[in-house]
Structures are given as structure tokens and as C-alpha cells.
Amino acid sequence: MSELLRIENLSAGYGEAVVLHDVGLALGEGQTLALLGRNGTGKTTLINTLAGATRQHGGSITLGGAALHKLSPHLRAAAGIGWVPQERNIFKSLTVHENLTAVERPGRWNPQRVYEMFPRLAERKGNLGTQLSGGEQQMLAVGRALVLNPTLLLLDEPLEGLAPIIVEELLRAIRRITRDEGLAAIIVEQHPQAILAISDEAVVLDHGTVVHADHAASLQAQPEVLERLLGVGR
């Protein structure tokens, strides 16, 4: 398996405040990484740093051999980063279909494939972003990232605050995107067992540093380790 992403000695944060300290990890093509940790440990900062939304103080990020850390956010998207932030950042004044076509890039993912994955969006393609439920907005945010046709999908707490039925829909979609379609992904989530079940690798952050790295299946099978690292055993 070829290496897709490599992070070395990464320090980053907001302004002069450094949140991440000497972070290092690697991800292969088509692999999914569960990025875990208690609240405030730097998970979102790492996702934001990959997307170019923080100040990088040191270290390097390469994606497919290219120096990602030297690129502006919009060039990172062109280089293969698909980002779904916590805030979703859909265009609320545009329709569902306009949201998708406004950012679409050539490739295997197009609006029609997004509609096939999320039938709710197909039913609401003429609705404005403001007319969607929270779950539908999250589906649209994922769809917008997909039509960029990225090589690496970044999902920051995609299940947060959603109804159980929507959580199940999104988990099935994420599994299809990663497992069936082979799109590499990094997923931040507060429900470790749900994400570990569909991930290849797992990394736990604490105080902005990597404190544990393992195969996802191995970590999932060790509830005592999850309890120690995250305060959850299930």
C-alpha cells in the first residue's frame, strides 16, 4: 500500500498559541484513521491544520508526496483535501443542488452520485440550506466535500448532535465512501466504538500530542484502554 499522508514534527495553533506539539502520523492510500481524544486535546486543530485553517509553527505535511503545508487552503482543496468542519459551512442561501454544483470538480463523484447515497438530498435538491434539518445539512456538507473529488476526506465530528436514525444513515454512507469506494479519511468523533468499527488505524491525542497509536480493531477490542485514554469503555 502506498503512503498518502505523512505528518512530521507538526506544531500548530491559533496566532501565537500552540495547540499541537510535535505530532507525527502516516496514512496509506484508501485507509481510514479514527482520530480520538477527550475534549480540548487538539483533534479539531489537527483537522483544521490539514485544511490550512490554523497557523503552522513547525513541521511538515505531505499529501501524495506534495508539500501540503506550503499551500493556501484553496490550493489544498485542489491538491486533494475534502474538509467537512464541525460548522458544516454549507451555502445556506443556495439550494442543495447549487451547493453541490458550485464546488464540483471533475471525477467519479458528482451530484447524482451524492443523491444516490443520500436520497433525502435528492428529495430536497431545490430547497435552500436554511430549509434543511441538521442531519440534512451534514449530509450536504459531506456531499460538497465529495464532489471536490478529494484523495483525503476530513470529517470533524460528523455525528455530533444528530438523531440516531440520521447517525445510522451517515455511518452507512461513511462506510461506503471509505470501505467500498476506497477513499482515505480522517474522522474525529466522540463515539469511538462507532468510528473504530469502520476505521483501519486509530490515533489518540492528549494535550496536543499523540499518546497512543494502534490498529483500530485492536483498540476497539480493548475497552480498558479506551477507558484509560478517553474515559469511555464502550
- Domains of the chain, by residue range, sit at 1-80+193-234
CA distances 105 to 77, 145, 148, 149, 157, Å, are 10, 10, 5, 6, 25
User: pLDDT-derived band of residue 212, with 50, 70 and 90 as boundaries?
Assistant: very high
User: pLDDT-derived band of residue 1, with 50, 70 and 90 as boundaries?
Assistant: confident
Q: Give 2-46 pLDDT, tens digit per residue.
A: 999 999 999 999 999 999 999 999 999 999 999 999 999 999 999
Task: Please report where in the chains the cell 460528523 appears, as a residue.
Answer: 158
The span from the CA of 199 to the CA of 178, in Å, is: 9
Q: What percent of the chain has pLDDT over 90?
A: 94
Q: Give 60-81 pLDDT, tens digit per residue.
A: 999 999 999 999 999 999 999 9
The fourth-level CATH superfamily of domain 1-80+193-234 is P-loop containing nucleotide triphosphate hydrolases (3.40.50.300)
Q: What percent of the chain has pLDDT over 70?
A: 99
pLDDT of 233 strictly over 80: no
pLDDT at 93: 96
230 vs 191 pLDDT, higher one: 230
pLDDT at 231: 81
Give the three cell numbers for residue 197.
Answer: 468499527
The span from the CA of 194 to the CA of 204, in Å, is: 15
Q: Give 70-119 pLDDT, tens digit per residue.
A: 999 999 999 999 999 999 999 999 999 999 999 999 999 999 999 999 99
The span from the CA of 213 to the CA of 233, in Å, is: 17
Find the DSSP H helices in the chain: 43-51, 73-79, 96-103, 111-117, 119-123, 134-146, 164-175, 192-196, 216-220, 223-230
97, 90, 202, 107: which is closest to 146 by C-alpha? Answer: 107
pLDDT of 232 strictly over 70: no
What are the strands of the beta sheet with 152-156, ordered from one edge? 81-84, 152-156, 184-188, 32-36, 201-206, 209-215
| Region 48-70 average pLDDT | 96
Give the three cell numbers for residue 70.
Answer: 506550503
Are 10 and 20 contacting, i.e. CB atoms less than 8 angstroms apart? Answer: yes
Are 185 and 151 contacting, i.e. CB atoms less than 8 angstroms apart? Answer: no
User: pLDDT-derived band of residue 234, with 50, 70 and 90 as boundaries?
Assistant: very low
